[in-house]
Amino acid sequence: MRRSRLRHLGLATLLVLGGLTATGTLPASAAGTTTGSADEQAASAGLLDAMQRDFGLTRAEAEDRLAAERRATDLAPTARRAAGDAFGGSWFDARRARLTVAVTSDASPTTVRAVAATGARVRTVEHSARQLDAAKNRIDRIDAPAGVSSWHVDPAANSVIVDVVRSERGDNDVRRFLERAREAGPVTVRTVTSAPSTFAAGTVGGDPYYTGNVRCSIGFSVHGGFVTAGHCGGAGAAVRGWDGSHVGTFQGSSFPGNDYAWVSVGSGWWTVPVVLGWGTVSDQLVRGSNEAPVGASICRSGSTTHWHCGTVLAKNETVNYSQGAVHQMTKTSVCAEGGDSGGSFISGDQAQGVTSGGWGNCASGGETWFQPVNEILNRYGLTLHTA
């Protein structure tokens, strides 16, 4: 591969390739992330333009929201520790531009004051996060019919949300699943327009990576390769680049159950800590992998639909694909289409995860799930390549 290709937008999802790293870069692992100075973390003009387009904000409102989300992300671990056993979950409230932390009604006044003292808004709820997680884990053990789309803990609703395809709501298997789910704990049923599917695609040209006759998108550079979606290829599968040349090999892959993989690279390809902006925004540097809270803005880069933004809707969601359930996914309002699988989800300059699947498209809208990047890094002992 010629280095000059990096200057061409057509590089697409080949954001990560080969083993070379830039002088002075600092790696971030799943256990530890990096942060830069305030100037380094300032949002690019392109990112602000995308926020204005996808959220209907003014430039000043976009800047204020990103700053508030950074504060909420930094505050969340401290607030959770303050809540202790009374912790009921947390989320970013975009209207108030604050982190909200739920605490159970039996929390002591001292605990409530301690949470409030962190700067978070406090809401009283019935069920703790531990109780809700236990209920979801029990539901995970129930075989789900195709008419059940997904389920996750919603801290704001203080319930496990089960999404059912609208046309399948009356199906007997769906009804039986919901009966058993309600026995597991507090459940709220919602309807969605269609079932989820993965976003892999056949070989159609453009700027992809290929494995067999499947086209997918690269997620994030790690030292020695890149991470992507597991359904894009099994361990040992060879990967070809945009120019048809050999890039590397899938070293680990898991799907269903999980949807993640990593590919080692060589043959002249090298890694760079960049997410492609596709001309919609400037290419985005990756500086770490701090996890954005529910309610935060998030953007996705992929080889088919390029750059789109939306909101984090839920975490630790189980998604029921036709191939089998995938656990611990994050749901977003960002659209995606075939070929976007494996691509980057990023919030500000912080890596979030790799695109798995969803429903809808970028013409009519929809929802998309990603597998969190820190889980992938921890699973394979990888180190994120950061700027």
Catalytic residue among 259, 283, 340, 349: 259
Catalytic residue among 253, 341, 344, 356: 341
pLDDT recorded at residue 42: 62
Determine which helix (DSSP H) or strand (DSSP E) holds 129, and give its type and residue range: helix 129-140
pLDDT recorded at residue 207: 55
Q: Is the peptide bond before 145 cis (omega within 30 degrees of 0)?
A: no
Strands 284-285 and 98-104: unpaired
Q: What is the rounded CA–CA span in Å between residue 296 and residue 101?
A: 14
Question: Could you confirm whether 341 is annotated as catalytic?
Answer: yes
pLDDT recorded at residue 339: 95
Could you read off the pLDDT of 189-218 as tens digits, one per residue? Answer: 999 999 999 887 644 333 579 998 899 999
Residue 182 falls in which region: left (phi positive, over 0), alpha (psi -120 to 50) or beta: alpha
pLDDT recorded at residue 27: 29
Catalytic residue among 127, 152, 231, 308: 231
The series of mean pLDDT values per 10 residues for the chain, 387 residues long, is 34 30 30 38 76 91 94 96 98 96 98 98 98 98 96 98 95 97 97 89 57 93 95 96 88 98 90 88 91 96 94 98 97 96 95 96 95 98 96
Question: Could you confirm whether 231 is annotated as catalytic?
Answer: yes
**Residue 292 neighbours by CB distance under 10 Å:** 24
Q: Kindly state the tokens that stand for 306.
A: 């390029």
Q: What is the rounded CA–CA span in Å between residue 96 and residue 75?
A: 15
